[in-house]
Amino acid sequence: MYIAIAGNIGSGKTTLTEILTRRYGAKAYYEETDNPYLGDFYNDMSRWAFQLQISFLGSRIQQTLDMLSSGDENIFQDRTIYEDAHIFADNLHAMGLMSTRDFGTYMKIFELTTNLIPQPDVLIYLRASIPTLITQIKRRGRDYEMNIDEDYLRRLNEKYEHWINDIYRGKLLIVDKDVDDFVADPTIIDRICQQLDEMVANK
């Protein structure tokens, strides 16, 4: 069982990955949080956009190779390579923060890589409004995220909705984080697990 968890910055991907990994006795693969370009990027997005995304892509490629060779029966992945391209790189290009030439180079590498990657059995999408994202970002208190612009998060949310509704074709489980606080209410985790089990059984 290969489950991927997608969602905007601050949506709760890592927390849900931790909870579900414990529940299933599975192997977790987490999003890189110590990217050496993150701090520079948030201070000067146009200067560091391409470097940031290439660094993330390289990390995701290595993670994917590790996943494929691990032999683990159950895998939970915190953020996918698809988001790197369809959400973050595409958004930076649309904002004029990544040149068309750099974006084209990035997408060529991405497309080559995705030919080697199995699609998740189920993709869990954590949908969250901007107020919910801001609250959770402040709660976890990462220094480099404290000055994230709300308009930036809003554009990412729009990209996520477009990707989920118009591009992604795999099995999808949507969790509304504005309503379903799985940390405060463990019964929500029970419901998510029941839905996952049913979806994987019917693949």
Count of CB atoms situated within 10 Å of the CB of 55? 17
- Burial pattern 108-130, b for ≥16 Cβ within 10 A else e, equals eebeebeeebeebbbbbbbbbee
Quote the CA–CA distance of 4 and 152 in Å, as a whole number: 24
Residue 166 amino acid letter: D
Q: What residues are labeled active site?
A: 78
How far is Cα 101 from Cα 120, in angstroms, rounded to an integer? 30
